């Protein structure tokens, strides 16, 4: 078990919260809540040790320079592949985005 | 070598892969597992013609290594459905006691089901991979759509077991988590041979 934290510049706070995903092998649970304007904070609790670099690369590809909404993101990971992580994050971001 | 007249399915255990069939970059522990004649686990994923995508399982969650196995090398195959007899005494790990409790109730569903993950591996090989906090991983074959209300009832049953139970529903298109299908999400994660997808209907064939 490992807890990792990441922060990225962001825009205005998201307007609602969202919870997607599922507790279970190869999957993850993602909870998004509106954050402080300007910052995207991500906390990952993962069952896979030594994966900090992998998460950082994934978040950088998704969020660096993308002006994401300001959010507090809580992730509980149960060994999801990067493809699953990305899909779940996109699913969650779609739910908090203004329609 | 016996002729292989079947396509292995995800979660099947296959014997017969040798350490020499791993690629050069494979870790030492993976070579040791195969040198000890332990099976590999079929995983969902593309493989070259005549091969099947597999994973080598070592100790702990970090020791998983993805590879491909030639179909011609398969000497024995055990499917999850063959691993439903826990034979668990009162002193067995919670995952096996949960299996023994659930088995008659799952048999009553009239759908094929089986044991995967650590419990399946231990039942098939005798290698002690379970511990006090191990989950029980199960698979249910659902060739026809499973109503979400039925999924919710089944989940309520699993959640009364002695340990955490993860059940994957195998549809003709891939696999979904029962826990997610039983909930309110309009789109659920479908694991296919071509990667994960979010879909509204996991029984609808998806274009490759």
A92-to-A7, A44, B115, B140, B175 alpha-carbon distances in Å: 18, 15, 31, 27, 21
Same domain, B175 and B130: yes
The pLDDT > 70 percentage for chain B reads 95
Handedness of CA B50, B53, B54, B55 (dihedral sign): positive
Rounded to the nearest 5°, which phi and psi values hold at B149? -65, -35
**In the numeric block, which tokens belong to residue B141?**
């074959």
From residue B76, give the alpha-carbon distance in Å to each of A96, B39, B60.
49, 9, 25
Of A25, A50, A84, the CB nearest to B166: A25
Residue B205 maps to a domain: no
B207 is a domain residue = no
Task: Establish if B7 belongs to a structural domain.
Answer: no
Asked if residue B23 lies in contact with residue B40, where contact means CB atoms within 8 angstroms, the answer is: no
Q: Quick check: is B2 in a domain?
A: no
Q: Do B166 and B130 share a domain, yes or no?
A: yes
pLDDT tens for residues B26-84?
999 999 999 999 999 999 988 999 999 999 998 877 788 999 999 999 999 999 999 99
Q: Identify any residues that bridge with A8 across adjacent strands, giving them in sequence order.
A: A40
The reply to whether B169 falls in a domain is yes
Give mean pLDDT, residues B148-175: 96
Interatomic CA distance for residues B16 and B1, integer angstroms: 10
- In this prediction, residue B90 carries a pLDDT of 65
Tell me the C-alpha to C-alpha distance, in Å, between residue B52 and each of A32, B30, B59, B98. 38, 17, 23, 32
Q: pLDDT value at position B148?
A: 96
Q: For residues B125 and B43, state if they share a domain.
A: no
Q: Is the pTM of this model over 0.90?
A: no
**What does the mean pLDDT of chain B come to?**
91
Neighbours of B129 (CB within 10 A): 17
DSSP H helical ranges for B92-147: 94-107, 117-125
State yes or no: is B23 an active-site residue. no
- Tell whether B116 and B186 lie within a shared domain: yes
Say if residue B112 is in the same domain as residue B178.
Answer: yes
Q: How far is CA A91 from CA A18, B128, B171, B187, in A?
A: 9, 38, 22, 9
Residue B43 covered by a domain: yes
pLDDT tens-digit map of B76-117: 999 999 999 877 666 789 999 999 999 999 999 989 999 999
Q: How far is A73 from chain B (nearest CA, A)?
A: 19
Q: Do B189 and A88 touch (CB under 8 A)?
A: yes
Closest C-alpha to A59, from A76, A41, A47? A41
- A24-51 per-position pLDDT tens digit: 878 999 999 999 999 999 999 998 888 8
Last residue of a domain, one of B78, B101, B130: B78
Question: What is the model's pLDDT at position B89?
Answer: 67
Domain count, chain B: 2
B140 and B42: one domain? no
Q: What are phi and psi of A39, to 5 degrees?
A: -135, 140
* Nearest chain B residue (CA) to A23: B179
Quote the pLDDT of residue B136: 95
Domain boundary among B61, B78, B95: B78
* Same domain for B108 and B91: yes
Q: Are residues B192 and B115 in the same domain?
A: yes
| pLDDT of B4 strictly over 60 | no
Our answer to whether residue B137 is catalytic in this structure is yes
Q: Which residue of A has its CA nearest to B63?
A: A48
Residues 6+ apart with CB under 8 A from A99: none
Evaluate whether B55 touches B68 at the Cβ level (below 8 Å): no
Do B166 and B89 share a structural domain?
A: yes
* Contact check, Cβ <8 Å, B62/A49: yes
Domain enclosing residue B166, as ranges = 80-199
> What pLDDT, on the 0 to 100 scale, is given for residue B113?
97
pLDDT tens for A46-81 read 988 888 999 999 999 999 888 999 999 999 998 898
At A61, list the tokens: 């590809």
State the burial class of residue A51 (Cβ atoms within 10 Å of its Cβ: 0-12, 13-18, 19+): middle
Is the same domain home to B182 and B93? yes
Examine the fold and report which residue of B78, B94, B110 is the final residue of a domain before the chain moves on: B78
Helix (H) or strand (E) holding A28: strand A28-34
Same domain for B50 and B118, yes or no, is no
Closest Cα partner for B69 from B118, B125, B20?
A: B20
Average pLDDT for B126-136: 90
Q: Which residue of A has its CA nearest to B61?
A: A48
Do B72 and B118 belong to one domain? no
pLDDT of residue B62: 73
Using the Cβ of A25 and the Cβ atoms of chain B, whether some distance falls under 8 Å is answered with yes
């Amino acid at each position: 078990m490992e807890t990792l934290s990441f922060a990225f510049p962001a825009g205005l706070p998201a307007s609602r919260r969202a919870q997607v995903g599922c507790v279970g092998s190869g999957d993850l649970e993602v909870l998004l809540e509106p954050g402080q304007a300007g910052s995207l904070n991500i906390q990952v609790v993962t069952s896979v040790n030594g994966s900090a670099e992998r998460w950082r690369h994934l978040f950088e590809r998704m969020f660096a320079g993308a002006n994401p909404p300001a959010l507090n993101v809580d992730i509980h990971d149960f060994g999801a592949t990067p493809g699953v992580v990305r899909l779940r994050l996109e699913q969650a971001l779609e739910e908090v985005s203004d329609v | 070598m016996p002729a292989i007249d079947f396509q292995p399915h995800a979660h099947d255990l296959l014997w017969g892969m040798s350490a020499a069939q791993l690629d050069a970059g494979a870790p030492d522990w993976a070579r040791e597992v195969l040198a000890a004649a332990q099976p590999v686990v079929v995983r969902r994923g593309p493989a070259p013609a005549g091969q099947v995508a597999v994973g080598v399982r070592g100790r702990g969650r970090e020791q998983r290594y993805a590879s491909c196995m030639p179909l011609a090398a398969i000497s024995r195959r055990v499917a999850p459905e063959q691993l439903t007899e826990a034979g668990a005494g009162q002193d067995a790990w919670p995952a096996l006691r949960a299996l023994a409790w659930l088995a008659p109730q799952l048999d009553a569903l009239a759908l094929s089901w089986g044991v995967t993950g650590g419990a399946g591996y231990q039942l098939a090989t005798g290698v002690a991979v379970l511990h006090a906090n191990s989950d029980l991983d199960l698979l249910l074959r659902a060739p026809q759509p499973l109503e979400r209300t039925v999924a919710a009832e089944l989940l309520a049953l699993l959640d009364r077991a002695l340990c955490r139970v993860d059940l994957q529903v195998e549809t003709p298109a891939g696999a979904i988590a029962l826990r997610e299908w039983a909930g309110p999400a309009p789109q659920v994660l479908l694991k296919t041979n071509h990667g994960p997808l979010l879909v509204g209907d996991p029984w609808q064939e998806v274009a490759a």
